[in-house]
């Protein structure tokens, strides 16, 4: 059996800290970096962002949508980034938010977690709207290949609440958290589970309100919202204190806005802020 993703992630956090560098080639950022908004521009953008992250962060998180804008040429740039990151020894978490019925989910799983697949990543984000059970092909392939899956729990955007909080004390979000805990408890949760949750840094106060037990099954917690969306390290320390060791904190625009020359320093500052 390969080393589990939970174990690999815990090792990466111990070695490089809990920052995850988001690589989001928004058109305005690409232009601000003096690059053309085409596949070649994305390639150069990704390469500089990767170099800023290597050795200074636990993982990178490319935002797949922003590569998909350029069709197959954009995805080729993403494939190159993933290969370069693998070569550099930094974990890759592709933010693709995939989700479908089980038989189709198997296709997504092969694409993002399959051994030797062009877009193969260490982990991928998935949506549980069709049921956590429908994600089984991804969870199973991840376990087989030593990869990880991050399931949307409570997201950082204000619009998420209407769906995710639905059900009150037995909310949709709570059921997702419970299903992820059950999977990790059955398949391994030491030092961390290999199935994680996305829990927005901006909605940390909702954890208690919804009665979410984020410690059960030790899911890694990806907490978008730190930086550009307004959440601070103080917010994270207040709301996530009992599960601090499970945190993988992504930041994209707040690092990328520093530009190609300033990005490495921005990464170092954020990493220090989260230490
Ligand atoms: O709940 C969620 C889930 C995913 N995201 C993604 O994270 C980054 C955040 O970027 P910033 O520039 O650091 O705000 C982006 O790729 C989102 O699609 C999220 O924000 N919230």
The structure tokens 């707040």 sit at 254
Query: Against a cut of 0.95, is the pTM above it?
Result: yes
Measure Cα distances from 265 to 54, 256, 262 in Å. Answer: 13, 11, 6
Residues 6+ apart with CB under 8 A from 153: 164, 173, 176, 177, 180, 197, 198, 199, 212
Q: What pLDDT sits at residue 247?
A: 98
Report the separation in Å between the CA atom of 160 and the middle of ligand 1, taken as the mean of its atom positions.
13
What is the mean predicted confidence (pLDDT) over 101-127? 97
- Segments in the chain forming alpha helices (H): 5-16, 27-32, 39-53, 64-68, 71-88, 102-113, 136-145, 161-164, 172-187, 205-209, 233-239, 253-256, 259-273
The length of the chain is: 275
Of the candidates 104, 135, 102, 138, the one whose C-alpha atom is nearest the C-alpha of residue 120 is 138
Reply yes or no on whether the pLDDT at 209 is more than 90. Answer: yes
- At 161-191, the pLDDT tens digits run 999 999 989 999 999 999 999 999 999 999 9
- At 13-37, the pLDDT tens digits run 999 999 999 999 999 999 999 999 9
**Domain at 39, CATH number:** 3.20.20.70
The structure tokens 């030593």 sit at 146
What is the mean predicted confidence (pLDDT) over 210-228? 98
Count of the separate structural domains present in the chain: 1
The phi-psi region of residue 101 (left if phi > 0; otherwise alpha if psi is between -120 and 50; otherwise beta) is: beta
Torsion of CA 88, 93, 96, 97, to 10 degrees: 180
Domain ranges, residue 258: 5-273
Q: Which of 60, 152, 196, 252 to mutate to test the pocket of ligand 1 (most atoms within 8 A of CB)?
A: 252
Nearest CA to ligand 1 atom 1: 155
Report the separation in Å between the CA atom of 198 and the middle of ligand 1, taken as the mean of its atom positions.
10
Q: Which of 21, 125, 151, 156 to mutate to test the pocket of ligand 1 (most atoms within 8 A of CB)?
A: 156
Identify the band that residue 1 occupies on the pLDDT scale cut at 50, 70 and 90: confident
- At 80-90, the pLDDT tens digits run 999 999 999 99
Enumerate residues lining ligand 1, CB below 6 A.
22, 24, 63, 95, 155-157, 198, 200, 224, 227-229, 250-254
The structure tokens 């409570």 sit at 154
Active-site residue flag, 61: no
The structure tokens 């390969």 sit at 2
């Amino acid at each position: 059996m390969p080393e589990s993703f939970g174990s690999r992630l815990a090792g990466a956090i111990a070695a490089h800290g809990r920052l995850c560098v988001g690589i989001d080639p928004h058109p305005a950022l690409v232009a601000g970096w003096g690059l053309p908004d085409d596949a070649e521009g994305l390639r150069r953008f990704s390469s500089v962002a990767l170099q800023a992250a290597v050795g200074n962060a636990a993982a990178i998180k490319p935002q797949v949508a922003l590569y998909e804008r350029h069709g197959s040429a954009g995805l080729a740039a993403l494939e190159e980034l993933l290969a370069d990151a693998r070569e550099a020894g930094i974990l890759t978490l592709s933010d693709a938010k995939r989700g479908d019925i089980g038989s189709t989910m198997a296709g997504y799983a092969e694409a993002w977690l399959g051994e030797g697949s062009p877009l193969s990543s260490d982990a991928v984000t998935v949506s549980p709207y069709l049921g956590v059970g429908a994600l089984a092909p991804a969870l199973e392939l991840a376990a087989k290949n030593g990869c990880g899956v991050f399931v949307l729990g409570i997201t950082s955007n204000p619009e998420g609440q209407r769906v995710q909080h639905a059900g009150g004390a037995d909310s949709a979000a709570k059921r997702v958290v419970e299903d992820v805990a059950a999977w990790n408890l059955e398949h391994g949760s030491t030092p961390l589970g290999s199935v994680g949750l996305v829990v927005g840094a901006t909605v940390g106060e909702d954890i208690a309100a919804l009665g979410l037990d984020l410690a059960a099954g030790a899911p890694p917690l990806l907490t978008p919202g730190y930086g550009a969306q307004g959440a601070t390290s103080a917010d994270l320390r207040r709301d996530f204190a009992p599960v601090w060791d499970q945190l993988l904190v992504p930041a994209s625009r707040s690092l990328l806005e520093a530009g190609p020359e300033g990005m490495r320093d921005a990464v170092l500052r954020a990493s220090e802020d989260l230490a």
